[in-house]
Amino acid sequence: MARVVTLNVGEKSVEMPVTEGTEGELGFDITKLRAETGYVTYDPALGNTGACKSAITFIDGDKGYLRHRGIPIEQLAEKSDFIEVAYLLIFGKLPTADERKKFSQRLGANAALDPAFKKVFESFPHDAAPMAALSAMINTASCFDSTVADGDDEQFAEAAARLISKTRTIGAYIYRMTNKLPYVEPDPKLPYVANFLRMMFSTPGTQYEVHKEVTDALDLIFLLHADHEQNCSTSTVRMVGSSKANLYASCAAGVCALWGPLHGGANVEVLEMLDVIHKGGMTAEQYLEQVKEKKVLLYGFGHRVYKNFDPRAKILKESSDKVLAKIGVKDPLLDIARKLEALALKDSYFVDRKLYPNVDFYSGIIMKAIGIPVNMFTVLFAIGRMPGWIAQWKEQRDENVRIARPRQIYTGPTKSDYLPVEKRK
């Protein structure tokens, strides 16, 4: 029999079924709480609220587990790539060779932007915030898609590939726009990441030389960011999608949530911190002492969910070592970053508090090393997270859930009468 917990509230009571996940996660089903007792829960930031059931991603922050559809992130990082993981997230299984080929062909066929679409870029100022442009252009993309993923499974599959592919092209074009460079047409024959780098960095008359170490590192960054359970932006996609908003509108809202420095902008904060250390003439040792004295903040260390080492950070650390060694970039900020890492990992102050480098620390280092400007970091995060948003939107659509409508605890004035202006003080 299913377990039931009874909550007594004064003279009233409510029976709450215990919902159990496949990994042993337990939750009280409080859907009847308000109707039967008049009470609601109070959970600021929703840290103790399970807003949905999901079969996509599992995280155990205490043990440092991250799995997509049951497969550990370590195995996916070693044996798979971003496109295969995107397929896994969205369609619930690893693709066969034919399914992978068809999905890749769809991505290549949908990479180009309509000529009318490109003209929208001309309306933006060159110093426009890249994430503002990205959100606007994803919404604009819906104007060029008559189905907007509202049809059958085949139409959805096409729309999903279209959005993943065009988000990459839009991201590259935003970089070109902000740097006043001519746009580079996508090459449908190139792999996803190589095509992105080519569109970003090619110059007139010279094609960008794609290095395997660079494409592998960026593919890994995209893969490691592809989904991360019910975070702020993913919850936003689900919230907006619950109103039956289409795929593009829901994911554009996710971009806006990701924009914040406490979410997708965290790796930007890392580079800004390194810049402050460098320009201030401080050493890494001096900065860490100020952190201990609570005079400054240490960005890129610790995580809201992981109480141990972020498993994605372990993977990216190895990649960053390889990329930096191969590229041989000389950058004082990267030197400071490596020094901070080395010192913090053997300092009991940070180790005892489990303040280990997180994925934002290493992703920022890698992206800076391969030439991605800081203002584009969060755009790349959005490109990587797009498959997860699509998967979450689809899962919710398939379950036909009710529109999300949180409650509140009102703390404003009690009933008062309207005063004419001449009586107001």
CATH topology of domain 4-65: Rubrerythrin, domain 2 (2.20.28)
**Choosing from 145, 227, 303, 310, which is the catalytic residue?**
303
Q: Report yes or no: 336 and 278 within 8 Å, Cβ to Cβ.
A: yes
What integer is the mean pLDDT of 342-360?
A: 92
pLDDT digits (tens, 9 = 90+) for 240-262: 999 999 999 999 999 999 999 88
Question: Catalytic annotation on 360?
Answer: yes
pLDDT one-digit tens code per residue, 33-72:
999 999 999 999 999 999 999 999 999 999 999 999 999 9
Per the structure block, which two tokens stand in for 315? Answer: 């993977």
Give catalytic status of residue 127 as yes or no: no
Which residues touch 178 (CB under 8 Å, ≥6 apart)? 126, 127, 128, 130, 375
**pLDDT of res. 148:** 66
The pLDDT mean for the chain works out to 92
Q: DSSP H helical segments within 47-96, as ranges?
A: 73-79, 82-91
Q: Tell me the whole-structure pTM to 2 decimals.
A: 0.94
Question: Which pair of tokens denotes residue 78?
Answer: 């070693």
Reported as a single tens digit per residue, the pLDDT across 170-210 is 999 999 999 999 999 999 889 999 999 999 999 887 878 88
pLDDT in tens, 313-346: 989 988 888 888 877 777 888 889 889 999 999 9
Residues of the chain with CATH 1.10.580.10: 68-405
Which residue of the set 81, 219, 310, 360 is catalytic?
Answer: 360
pLDDT digits (tens, 9 = 90+) for 86-124: 999 999 999 999 999 999 999 999 999 998 888 898 899
- The correct CATH number of 68-405 out of 1.10.3720.10, 1.10.580.10, 1.10.150.80, 3.30.565.10 is 1.10.580.10
Here the contacts of 317-320 (C-beta below 8 Å, separation 24 or greater) are: 317/357, 317/362, 319/216, 319/217, 319/220, 319/362, 319/366, 320/217, 320/362, 320/365, 320/366, 320/369
Residues of the chain with CATH 2.20.28: 4-65
Cα(356)–Cα(309) distance, integer angstroms: 6
